[in-house]
A and B are shown apart, each in its own frame.
Chain A
C-alpha cells in the first residue's frame, strides 16, 4: 500500500530474503506511528512504576471507557485533515447533538428516532462548515472557529443553562452497555476505526482524499471532484463528533452544555501525535488511535499518580510537540540509512 500507511509493512511478495535486517528497521522507523507508539509504551511503564494500581483491572476498564469518546472524534478530524481541511467545532457539535437528542425526546419523539435525528443534525452542521468554507473559499480554520463559538452559544441558548432532563425510559445498552470491564462504546470505536481505515486505504474515495489533501491542483486535473471529497469529510467529521457526544451522554446519563469543552484541542493533539500532517495529504488512522490512547492514559495516569490536574495540559502539550519532533527527526534519519 501507499507508504504513508502502516500497511506498507504487510506488502505482499516483498520477501524476507531481500529485506536485510537494516531495511526492516528502516521501514519501522519510517512508519508514522512509530514515535507515538514508543511514547505510549514509555508512558505506560512510567505510570505503572509510580502507581502499580494504574494497570489494575478496574483502572484499565476506566481508561477503556473514556478512550472511545475522544478517539471517535479524533478519527473524524484525521480524515478531514488528510483531505486538507480542519474542524475546530467538533467539541461544540459533541455537546450540540446529545442536547438535541434529549430535546427531541422531551417533544415525545421515539428514542431511536431521536438519536438518528440528532446524528442528522450533526451531519447538517458538518455540511454547513463545508459549504461555507468551499463556497466562499475561506480557510476552514476560520469557518469552524466561528461555528465552534456559534454552536456552543446555541447549546447554552437552547438549554438556558439548564440541561433537558436525560430521558430515563431509554435503554443505553447498545452504545455503552457493560460486559465485564468493557463497554460497548469500545466496540463501536473498533468498528469506526476499521470502517474508516477501509475507506481510506482500500477504496478509490480514500485515494481521492490523499490526492485532494496532497495536491489539490493535480487531483482536480485528474478529474477528482475535490469539493465533493472535502464536503463529505466535513460531514463525516461532524457526524462522528455528534456520535461520540451521544455516547458520552449515554455513559454519564446527562446532557451538559459544557460537554466537549476543549475536546477539539485534544482531538487535534491525538491526530498530530499519531503522525498526521497539518498540511494535508498525509496521515494514518492507527496513529490517531495510538494518540488518543496516549492522551487519555496521561490523563488517567496523572490522576492515579495523584498529580494536580493542571499537569494534564502541560503533559499533553509536551507530548504533542515531542511526537512531531520525534516523527520528523526519526524519519529524516531513517531515510538516510542505507539498505
Chain B
C-alpha cells in the first residue's frame, strides 16, 4: 500500500527509447518539504525520470503516486494542475516578455471574461508579481522589465517565485545552476531553501555536488538508468558520493 510519508512516490520505473534503456526499475520518492538532490553522470537518466514525473512521457512500466493516489499523467498540463511545476533552464521564460507577463503566462488574472477572452487585471498582476518576487527575496525595480535583461540567477528566481505564487507542491529544477557564476548559483540555492521554508518540496538536479550537497536533505544517485544510492545528507559526504559515481 501507499506510504504517507511521501508527497511523491515513483515505483519500479522503466523507460526505453527505441532500444536504449534509459531507466530500469527506479524507485524514487520525495517527502513533504524535502529537498531531494538528484545526481548522476551524463545520460544516467535524471532528465528522463523527472520528465516522467512531470507528465512529458508515460513510464513503460511502474507506478506514480502523488499525495497517496496513483496517477497517470497524459500531459504536462495534468501534472501542473496537481501542483508539480518543472523549471527547465532554457524553456522556463519568454525573454522578450516582461517579468509580470512571464509570471502569469498561461494563468493570467482577469477582471472579466468575454467568451474565451479574459480582460487582464493589470494593476493586480503588477501587485501580485511584486509580492511573488519579494517572496523569494528578489527585489526588482519593476515588474515590467524584460526577462532578457535579468541575469541567469534572477531568471531562476522569477521561475521559482512563479511556482511559489501558484502554490505548487513540488518544484522540479533541472540543472538550475548550470552556466551560472558562483554568486548567482548561491542565489539560486537560497531560492531553493526558501521553497523548503514555505513547505514546498523540490527536486534539484545538478552535476555539481558542491551545489547539491549543502542544500539537499537527501541525495539520490543514478547511474546507467539505475538507482545506485539514496542517502540522507547526514549519512554521507561529497567524497563518498563522488566515489560512488566514479566507481561503478
Q: Is the CB of A221 within 8 A of B92?
A: yes
Q: Is the CB of A207 within 8 A of B120?
A: yes
Question: Contacts of A281 on B, CB cut-off 8 Å?
Answer: 94, 96-97
Binary flags per residue of B104-119, CB closer than 8 Å to A gives 1, else 0: 1111101000001111
Q: Is the CB of B120 within 8 A of A3?
A: no
- B143 → chain A closest CB, angstroms: 10
Interchain CB contact (< 8 A) of B119 among A3, A12, A202: A202
Q: Is the CB of A210 within 8 A of B123?
A: no
Interchain CB contact (< 8 A) of A12 among B96, B100, B104, B123: B123
Say whether B86 faces chain A, with CB atoms less than 8 Å apart.
yes
Say whether A217 faces chain B, with CB atoms less than 8 Å apart.
yes
Q: Is the CB of B106 within 8 A of A224?
A: yes
Binary flags per residue of B67-109, CB closer than 8 Å to A gives 1, else 0: 0000000001100100000101011111111101100111110
Say whether A282 faces chain B, with CB atoms less than 8 Å apart.
yes
CA distance A222 to B79 in the complex (A): 11
CA distance A207 to B212 in the complex (A): 35
Binary flags per residue of A183-222, CB closer than 8 Å to B gives 1, else 0: 0000000000000000100111111101100110111111
Interface residues on B, range: 20 to 34
**Known contacts being A1-B144, A203-B117, A207-B101, is A215 close to B108, with CB within 8 Å?**
no
Say whether B198 faces chain A, with CB atoms less than 8 Å apart.
no
Q: Is the CB of A210 within 8 A of B106?
A: no
Question: Contacts of A1 on B, CB cut-off 8 Å?
Answer: 98, 122, 144
**Known contacts being A203-B119, A207-B120, is A215 close to B95, with CB within 8 Å?**
yes
Q: Is the CB of B117 within 8 A of A223?
A: no
A-B contact count (CB 8 A): 94
Interchain CB contact (< 8 A) of B95 among A206, A214, A220: A214
On chain A, the number of residues with a Cβ less than 8 Å from chain B's Cβ atoms is: 30
Say whether B181 faces chain A, with CB atoms less than 8 Å apart.
no
Say whether A2 faces chain B, with CB atoms less than 8 Å apart.
yes
List B residues 148-180 near A (Cβ within 8 Å).
Answer: none
Question: Contacts of B110 on A, CB cut-off 8 Å?
Answer: 203-204
The chain B residue sitting closest to A14, CB to CB, is B142
- Please list the 10 inter-chain residue pairs (A to B) with the smallest Cβ-Cβ separation, ordered nearest first: A222-B106, A214-B94, A204-B108, A204-B118, A2-B98, A217-B91, A215-B94, A223-B106, A214-B96, A224-B106
Task: A203-B120, A204-B110, A207-B108 are known; give 4 further A-B pairs, CB within 8 A.
Answer: A1-B98, A207-B101, A210-B97, A221-B86
Binding site for A on B (CB under 8 A): 76-77, 80, 86, 88, 90-98, 100-101, 104-108, 110, 116-120, 122-123, 142, 144-146
26 A-B pairs with C-beta separation under 8 A: A2-B98, A3-B98, A3-B144, A3-B145, A4-B146, A8-B144, A11-B144, A12-B123, A202-B120, A202-B122, A203-B117, A203-B118, A204-B120, A205-B116, A206-B120, A207-B104, A211-B105, A214-B96, A214-B97, A218-B94, A218-B105, A219-B105, A221-B91, A221-B92, A223-B106, A281-B96
